Amino acid sequence: MEPAEAEFLAEKELVTIVPNFSLDRIHLIGGDLGPFNPGLPVEVPVWLAINLKQRQKCRLIPPEWMDVEKLEEIRDQERKEDTFTPMPSPYYMELTKLLLNYASDNIPKADEIRTLVKDTWDTRIAKLRLSADSFVRQQEAHAKLDNLTLMEINTTGTFLTQALNHMYKLRTNLQPGESAHSQDF
């Protein structure tokens, strides 16, 4: 899966916007949206929020977790724990990127938030690499990775599985006896 696809999925997440126009309920395949009342918060998917924002038709209200204090807590928690901690949103990275790119003027302390999310992301990716490393080293058959988000899986998923395939092939070719042996386990 491409990162772009993950992002596409993330665009279905709902965010709150304050429209500055009036529109009745609109009926779309994915469900009804609206009604839009000027000045009244309404939940819409990210794709629509961004579209409206770009046309200056709305003001975005950042998701609750997109707040420096909360993110600091999350980051610290992430650093403290060895395993992955649950993220505030399964699309936290994508949402941060999208919203900060298009609506940073509506998000207080946008830069700090960007940094914090990046920090969290880096921590998690580092953990992921580390666990992949030990997974390969110890030649484990399976591993449990809870609380990973789609985008994170994406970063290593394809590569890791392919690499494992290759390694398996290499191993079986070089040490047929051993691999057969290991299969007995």
Partner 1 sequence: MPSAQKPMRYGHTEGHTDVCFDDTGSHIVTCGSDGDVRIWENLDDDDPKSINVGEKAYSCALKNGRLITAVSNNTVQIHTFPEGAPDGILTRFTMNANHVVFNSDGTKIAAGSSDFMVKVVEVTDSSKQKTFRGHDAPVLSLSFDPRDVYLVSASCDGSVRVWKIADQTCTTSWPLLQKCNDVINAKSICRLGWQPGSGKLLAIPVDKVVKLYRRETWDSQFDLSDTFITQPLNVVAWSPCGQYLAAGSVDGSIVVWNVETQECIERMKHEKNYSICGLAWHPKYRQIAYTDTEGNLGLLENVGDGKKPNDKVASTVTKDYNDLFDGEDDDYLNGDMIEPQSSPKVGANEDDGDDDDLMPTSGHPRRAIIDDDDNSLDIGMIKANSNLLEKEDDDDDDQTGGFPALPPSSTQQPFYDGPMPTPKQKPFQSGSTPAHLMHRFMVWNSVGIIRCYNDEQDNAIDIEFHDTSIHHATHLPNSLNHTMADLSTEAILLACESTEELASKLHCIHFSSWDANKEWTVDMPKDEDIEAICLGQGWAACATSALLVRVFTVGGVQKEIFSLPGPVVSMAGHGEQLMIIYHRGTGFDGDQCLGVQLMELGKKKKQILHGDPLSLTKKSYLIWVGFSAEGTPCYVDSEGIVRMLNRGLGNTWIPVCNTREHCKGKSDHYWVVGIHENPQQLRCIPCKGARFPPTLPRPAVAILSFKLPYCQVTTEKGQMEEQYWRSVVFHNHVDYLSKNGYELDENTKNQSVKEQQELLMKLFALSCKLEREFRCMELADLMTQNVVNLAIKYASRSRRLNLAQRLSEMAVEKASELATALEDEEEEEDFRKHLSAGYSNSATEWSRLPVRNVQQDQEMEDTEETDAYEEVEETPEVHKQRPNPFSKGVTAAEVTAPKSVVIASSSQGRVNPFKVSSNKKDPVVPSANVLDTMSKYSKKNSLSSSRAVNKQNPPVIKPLIPKPKSKQALAASFFQARIPNSSEKTVEEREEKAGNESSEVKVTAQENTESKRPKTGFQMWLEENRANILTDNPDLNEAEVIKEGMSRFRMLSSEERMVWTEKAKGGTVNDLTDDKKRKRPTADEDEAKKNQEQKSEDSNLSKKPKPLDQSTNVRLSAFAFKQS
Instruction: Provide, rounded to whole angstroms, the least separation between the CB of residue 104 and partner 1.
Output: 14
Residues touching partner 1: how many (CB under 8 A)?
15
Q: Of 73, 78, 62, 72, nearest to 121 (Cα)? A: 78
Q: What single-letter amino acid sits at 102?
A: Y
CA pair distance 10, 12, nearest whole angstrom: 5
Does residue 39 touch partner 1 according to CB under 8 A?
Answer: yes
Does residue 182 touch partner 1 according to CB under 8 A?
Answer: no
CA pair distance 153, 33, nearest whole angstrom: 31
Give 52 or 150: the residue with its C-beta nearer to partner 1: 52
Is 65:88 a contact under the CB 8 Å cutoff? yes
Instruction: Provide, rounded to whole angstroms, the least separation between the CB of residue 8 and partner 1.
Output: 28
Task: From 34-42, 118-126, 141-149, 173-181, give the range in contact with partner 1 by CB under 8 A.
Answer: 34-42
Give 8 or 21: the residue with its C-beta nearer to partner 1: 21
**6 CB neighbour count, 10 Å cutoff:** 20
Does residue 16 touch partner 1 according to CB under 8 A?
Answer: yes
Encoded one letter per residue, x for contact with partner 1 by CB under 8 A and - for no contact, window 106-135 reads --x---------------------------
Instruction: Provide, rounded to whole angstroms, the least separation between the CB of residue 44 and partner 1.
Output: 15
Instruction: Provide, rounded to whole angstroms, the least separation between the CB of residue 22 and partner 1.
Output: 6
Is 178:171 a contact under the CB 8 Å cutoff? yes
DSSP per residue over 124-152, as a string? Answer: HHHHHHHHHHHHHHTT-S----TT--HHH
Instruction: Provide, rounded to whole angstroms, the least separation between the CB of residue 17 and partner 1.
Output: 10
Does residue 51 touch partner 1 according to CB under 8 A?
Answer: no
Residue whose structure tokens are 């696809």:
5
Query: Could you say which residues in the range 52-81 bind partner 1, by CB under 8 A?
Result: 56-57, 59, 61
Burial class (CB within 10 angstroms; exposed 0-12, middle 13-18, buried 19+) of 107: buried
* Residue ranges binding partner 1 (CB under 8 A): 16, 18, 20-22, 37-41, 56-57, 59, 61, 108
